[in-house]
Every structure is written in structure tokens, then in C-alpha cells.
Amino acid sequence: MELRKALENRFGTHRVKSIQNPLHPDQELIVLLLELDVPVTVVMTASLSGYKMPVLDKWIGREFNEIYFCLPTYWDFEDHTNPNFSWIYTWIYKLERFVKDKNTWYGPGHTIPTGNPEVPISETMPQEYFIFLDPILLQKELEPARIEGKTVQFLSIVPIFGDELDFKMGKGTQKFIRRFIQRKGDEKLDNYRRSILDSRLRFF
């Protein structure tokens, strides 16, 4: 697999492995074990970039993507029975299937609801939407890769709250991203993250 080889060249073979989605075995995934200041684990699609997305003219050059979740150290990605951890496998499968089945595309700022009506992602993750963003924490590590003559982009999948979606829809994606980063937000999943619009002070 050329994607895996490219990632092994970038990070080393000991940090890259292929797995089958434990909840949807027909989907192959790539796991990256990255040593940053604080280690993170990345769970990424392995073959989405084989699908050429029908992007708008302004996005030509970004037709090929892989999508990923970035997991903190406390996240047990090998626990497939705990819904507070295993939902990542349900959603990465749904999101890959959706874009292919609908012959549509994902780009930075695109949002997806958890349902109709929307429901919290899990008991510990109360957000009800996902937004696709270019890498923030992993901006350097997940720069676009040149693979088999095409440029593959990496899009993070980030849970957001309803008021954050409203802010993004009203003010625009760039203002949302600026506010998100100003409030120390990035793509690493965080069960304790509050809305970027929550101004209440917290004392510990």
C-alpha cells in the first residue's frame, strides 16, 4: 500500500501499522503512534484517497483525502467494547462510506450532524456535530503527501457543539478556526473540552 509506505518513510515503520476496523472489518485503517511533546495516536482511513472527490473549482488540487481522528494518551483505542472509546470506529466508517456512496466531497469547514435529530456522540463526548479541519496540532507531521502522482491531503475529524456550528455558519469557517485556535483547540479529541463560546470561568 503506497500510503502506508509514504507514512513509514515519514515516521518510521515502528510507528505505522495497518488494522481492520474492529466494528466494520471490511474497512482498512492505519494507526500512527506519534511521539510529540505529549504522545498521540492517529486512526486514519487507508484507502479514501483512492476516491477522487468531485470538488468545486476553488478546491481543485484537493481531490484526494484521508480523514483521521487524533487520540489523547488516555484514549484506549484497542477497547472495542466501551462505547466511549469505540465510537471512533463507527464514525470513521460512516464518514468514508457516506462520501463515496453519495459521490460527494469533504473539505476544510464541512460539517456533519450525528443524526436527525442530533444526539451526543457518547456519554463522555456531548458534541453533536463533526467538522473537518486541516491539521492543527499535526500541521507539520501530516503535511500533504505526494503518492502515485497525486497529492493526498489529511483532514482531521473534530467534534463540535451546536453553538459552535451556529458561530461557524454565521461568521464563516475562517473566523471559527481562528476562535477555535485562540481557545487552544486542535484536532486531538478531548472529553473535557468546552465550547469556544463558553465564557464561564472555571476554578480548580
Query: What phi and psi, each to the nearest 5 degrees, are found at residue 70?
Result: -110, 120
Residues 6+ apart with CB under 8 A from 183: 196
pTM, rounded to two decimals:
0.95
Domain boundaries defined on the chain: 2-182
What H or E segment, with its residue span, contains residue 85? helix 83-101
The CA-based angle 119-123-125, given to 5 degrees, is: 75
- Between CA 149 and CA 146 the distance in angstroms is 6
Return the pLDDT at 200: 55
Q: pLDDT per position in the chain (204 positions), as tens?
A: 799 999 999 999 999 999 999 999 999 999 999 998 899 999 999 999 999 999 999 999 999 999 999 999 999 999 999 999 999 999 999 999 999 999 999 999 999 999 999 999 999 999 999 999 999 999 999 999 999 999 999 999 999 999 999 999 999 999 999 999 999 999 999 999 999 998 654 433
| pLDDT digits 0-9 by tens, 159-179 | 999 999 999 999 999 999 999
Return the pLDDT at 204: 34
What is the DSSP annotation of 94-152? Answer: HHHHHHHHTT----TT-EEESSSS---SSSS----EEEEE--STTTTTT--EEETTEEE
